[in-house]
Amino acid sequence: MLKTTSQTEKDSFSITFDDLDENSLSELSSDEASEILGGFTVINDTNSTKAFYNFGASVLAERQVLQPGQSADYDGEYILYNSSRTAFQPTLSRRLAPDDFVSFRQEGNNTIVLDTSGIITLRSIASEL
């Protein structure tokens, strides 16, 4: 039997298989499955709509749009977005963990992404090549 233990306050759970009853499996709840699949949360703290791509090792790049003040959860480990209002400057986030919360911020003509500690965690795609 598949046994799950969930601790909402600690945002974790464990899964074990009971060897005595290997034919009794149950589906995971959406909360349990989201812990396994990972992903991250993005918050748009700007006054304009932000478009970006989320992707990862097992997640194909998909275009996303967040309205001002909106937040959503995404799969993958990276965010790719245009960091300038006046020119196309693609920027890649650092590798994001499943429990990361990041937010878009606007500073003049530049868009940046901050993590919950307020640290800018970005690098340009050009520096990756």
Tokens of 120: 């800018």
Mean pLDDT of the chain: 75
Tens of pLDDT, residues 17-71: 554 455 555 665 655 555 554 578 999 999 999 999 999 988 999 999 999 999 9
The residue assigned the tokens 């009794």 is 24
**Exposed, middle or buried: residue 79 (CB in 10 Å: 0-12, 13-18, 19+)?**
buried
pLDDT confidence of residue 127: 43
Share of the chain above pLDDT 90, in %: 29
**Exposed, middle or buried: residue 72 (CB in 10 Å: 0-12, 13-18, 19+)?**
middle
pLDDT confidence of residue 115: 77
Q: Are 92 and 32 in contact (CB under 8 A)?
A: no
Q: Which domains does the chain have, with CATH numbers?
A: 1-37 (no CATH), 38-128 (2.60.40)
pLDDT confidence of residue 120: 62
The candidate with the shortest Cα–Cα distance to 55, out of 80, 76, 28, 24, is 76
